Amino acid sequence: MFKSIYGKIALILLGVLILLNLFFPLKINTRYSTLITASDGTLLHAFLSPDDKWRMYVELKEITPTLRKAIITKEDKYFYYHFGVNPIAVVRAFYNNFTKNRRTSGASTITMQVVRLLYPGERTYLNKLSEIGRAMQLELFYSKDEILQLYLNLVPYGSNIEGIKSASYLYFQKSPDRLSLAEVTTLAIIPNRPTSLQLGTRNPFIVQERNKWLERFKLERAFESQVINDALREPLNVSRHEAPKLIPHLALRLKKQFPDEPTIQTYIKLPVQSKVEQIVGNYANRIRAMNIHNAAVLVINNETMQVETYVGSANFNNKTDGGQVDGIQAIRSPGSALKPVLYATAFDKGIITPKNIINDVPTNFSGFEPENFDKKFNGKVTVEFALANSLNIPAVKVVRDLGKKELIDVLKKANFQTVKKQEKDLGLSIVLGGCGVTLEEMTQLYAVFANQGNWERMSLKKQAKESRGASPLISKESCFLITQILSQIKRPDLPNNFDYTYRLPKIAWKTGTSFGKRDAWSIGYNKKYTIGVWVGNFSGEGVPELSGAEIATPLLFQVFNSIDYNSTNEWFKQPDNVVSRQVCAESGDLPNDYCSNKILDYSIRNISHTRKCAHIKQFFVNHAETMSYCTQCLPIDGNYKQKNYMNYAPELISFYELKHILYEKIPAHNPACTRVFGASNNLPVITNPNNGSEYYVNTKDPQQMQLACQAANDVKEVYWYLNDKLLKKAKANQPVFFMPTAGKLKISCTDDKGRSSSIWVTIKPE
């Protein structure tokens, strides 16, 4: 019978609680300080909560048995046995307060204190009843451990400090799970008397009060006697400290990106981060004399794509030099640093192989006339030489042959945000720095070469579920070819300083210097790490001494030697589809019957081109080698012979003529021949003016315009026409001048073989 009555009462109470919860739901919307931690959990950076409190979120794992027992023994020894309210304590408190007409003892449990901290109000009997109801409600929806966690997160410590974790860091400079019994007891007694027990100002008095509680712990046998005796002798030398403010650039970025997460754990390795920060700071101090003030470094673990080091600037606190700018996210010009992905894409398309020859000569790309960094030209060079020496004209030619859309598509897949936005405005200069990139994008891009061609977004913070969505960007075969080229030691972007080359790490790397020498880049990788380095001024000021080779690469080498000096020399293995084949040294194409100088070249099986070499062309000439013949005008008497001549491109001939480089010229064609050469190849190329361009002339002081072309090796003379009227006959590759008049103008050039090219320009008066 009694059991039945008690059961009904319990059901009624449960129903009342459910109804009360519907009408007065429990709301816990406490906002915490944002904490940024290292990979091992070390606190790196802390921010105030939105209401300007130091309210650091304590994790359950940080509540040690010592902390748990000390708090419960002091505050609520029956915490695990009641349902939010201790009825015996309530009756005792009510009786004492009623009979003595004043508050002599409290009855608040830890749960009730949590309610009071969540819903502060005046200390009235009505509020006390509400507090009791809320406490039972809290117990209904939260476990005991969660309630204890809430208490430890909200307990006040005076000023704007709330929560035991905040007090632990701000006073003891350690996490709660590292507190000793004496320190735990100290923090346990302060919330009841925050005014009289002020840490840092009344430490001797706090020790006295602490020891009283330690003695009570001994009487209650809460801890072993020896542990308590050690705690009684422990001194208290503490004062308030600043919250940690490490990795400020990354901390600000993560706080903005994840504003509602109280604790954000990164992959930062604090010892490595500190070492790299020191290296960057010291290096920036050394180059400041050259008016170069800043640098940024990003270190990515290739195996996990986790960011282990993040240095946004040389000194965050240096406001004069823009230290608070995050150089890892800043949009800058990459200079030549995009060339490896260009050549890798061209390898994948089968357009070129490492030993293919490209002419590094002055070239006009519809008005765009790039120059090399050293203002020099090298004539015939291999693709691998062009990349290792970062030559500009060969790179632009590859973009032209590949199609700029192919390169842009690859960069878009690699999540280059500015390239996505500016896609329609980008031209051939994209490979020379004509687009905006970030150090983050560039470092992720180079990590592709270390990860067999797969692009993956770098990880800044630890997630509950690690998702690694790698997407193929380039083939592993092209990655190997690029790595072979970029790991060469004999190259111009190796620093001249012996201190750096003496401990040269085993890496593949590429430099870049933006136009105007505003940005210096050096990005390198090995099996384990990809490291991106940017050096320059956030103001955008150019410096004559700034270059990727001499300024950024030494810093790259220092960082690599610092974090990976003792690593194994394991290197990238050659894929099965990368095979060696013989090619002609003069062209890099498969040799024909005339090729005598053959070399080995890498190629990708079933992908690389199979062009036959055409660097030699056979001609019929007289015995004196002063006249050449075609098959239509061969002497009937047989007074001729066959001879092989180098089949130079017109642009290379123009370069040889300009530099007075001797080369064997094809004899002039038989003047008596009436055949017209209508083949589309070897047409004269009009290099000036530019097809489709508009030119303005000063009518008061008109200036002459220049006509120039590039002709084949067998061409001796060309004929210039303006609007189909003969202007002048001239030697091949000889500039011609004329006085322009306003209007549409057709310019034609015909060589002595009858081959012709035409362009249109518009002349306008100023």
DSSP annotation of 191 reads: G
> Cβ(456)–Cβ(470) under 8 Å?
yes
In the CATH scheme, what architecture does the domain 685-765 have?
A: Sandwich (2.60)
Say how many residues make up the chain. Answer: 766
Over the range 704-725, which residues count as b (16 or more CB within 10 Å of their CB) and which as e? ebebbbbbbbbbeebbbbbeee
Q: 437 phi and psi, to 5 degrees?
A: -140, 170
Q: Could you say which of 108, 175, 336, 547 is catalytic?
A: 336
> Annotated catalytic residue: which of 75, 308, 440, 441?
75
Torsion sign (Cα): 385, 388, 393, 395: positive
Closest CA to 556 of 313, 307, 297, 269: 297
Q: Which of 285, 391, 393, 407 is nearest to 351 (CA)?
A: 407
Domain made up of 295-564: CATH architecture? 3-Layer(aba) Sandwich (3.40)
**What number of CA atoms fall less than 13 Å from residue 292's CA on the CB side?**
27
Contact 273, 247 (CB under 8 A): yes
CATH 1.10.3810.10 region(s) of the chain?
28-233
**What is the pLDDT at residue 15?**
72
Residues of the chain with CATH 3.40.710.10: 295-564
Cα separation, 647 vs 669, whole angstroms: 16
Secondary structure (H, E, C), 205-222 = HHHHHHHHHHHHHHHCCC
Residue ranges for the chain with pLDDT beneath 50: 2, 104-105, 498
CATH architecture of 28-233: Orthogonal Bundle (1.10)
Instruction: Give the pLDDT score at 97.
Output: 64
- The pLDDT of residue 633 is 86
Q: Is residue 545 annotated as a catalytic residue, yes or no?
A: no
- Amino acid symbol at 594: Y
231-233-237-239 Cα dihedral, nearest 10 degrees? 40
Residue 672: partners with Cβ closer than 8 Å, 6 or more residues away: 633
pTM as predicted: 0.86
Residue 755 backbone dihedrals phi, psi, to 5 degrees: -85, 135
Q: Which of 243, 237, 234, 236 minimizes the C-alpha distance to 159?
A: 243
Amino acid found at 411: L
Q: Is the dihedral of CA 324, 329, 332, 335 positive or negative?
A: positive
Could you give the count of Cα atoms lying within 13 Å of 697 in the half-sphere of its Cβ? Answer: 17
Q: Could you confirm whether 596 is annotated as catalytic? A: no
pLDDT at 466: 62
